[in-house]
Copies of this chain bind each other. A is one copy, B any other.
């Protein structure tokens, strides 16, 4: 769509508004503050109905870049549907995936400080995002003080997610990372109302590996191993989590998960069995997951 490249025709002073207008034309839909807060899982304060602000949408087709690293910062984006990947790209063309933002996740926050996006956001499937100009958000916060913490909270959430990612990369081995990734996806999809134990991946092994700091072959092997162990069932991109507890056990063969993370994985209660063999399998169990772990695979 035409709106796609709008940010290129000018290092825009007003192209933000143009994009907004155009998105309205195409989509014919704006999002209210209430809907935005719901999307972000942020409490909606009573007085917010006073606020008139509305947010435009934008549709992004598969493979299309929403923003590129280096682009001048203009807006934040909240995924409303679909799935993205955010990447760093180096001179030789290879890329490192930093996250897979999905519905409710924030994108573009890395551009606030420097004034330029530091990563590129590419759609993995046809998706829809809410355009949230920083200025609108600031005005919103001013007019409705109870919404002031909104962006603070979303940014903090993002920060914790990346921090958890750094923890995983620095601590876990290949199988642990893959297991954590699957659990994270599972929890996030569950929170969105989809099945927690059966879903389809939207990304290639290559992209998964890039995100997890592994090669695609290693990802494939890890998945195969988990499959063979009966913990999950893999067929290409279709994943079935057969034994979530065992999957968590793979992450943490010996209680090496920080309590702050573990609590969100449901394995905080005193663990006795130091179960050294990863292949060991226990009867399936259900798992409640909080907001930390699910963020591992986010934006």
Contacts and interface: CB of A to CB of B under 8 A. Distances in A.
Interface of A: 1-2, 43, 62-65, 68-71, 88-96, 98, 109-116, 118-120, 122-124, 134, 138, 141-142, 145, 148-149, 151-160, 162-163, 165-167, 169-171, 210-213, 254-262, 271, 275-279, 281-287, 289-292
How many copies of this chain? 2
Contact of A284 (B93, B257, B275): B93
Nearest to A41: B113
Contacts of A155: 109, 112, 152, 155-156, 159
Given A88-B167, A138-B145, 19 more contacts: A2-B43, A63-B279, A65-B276, A68-B284, A69-B259, A69-B260, A70-B259, A70-B289, A71-B285, A88-B258, A89-B275, A90-B256, A90-B259, A96-B171, A112-B155, A119-B260, A123-B278, A142-B148, A155-B156
Nearest to A63: B278
Contacts of A70: 259-260, 285-287, 289
Contacts of A286: 68-70, 89
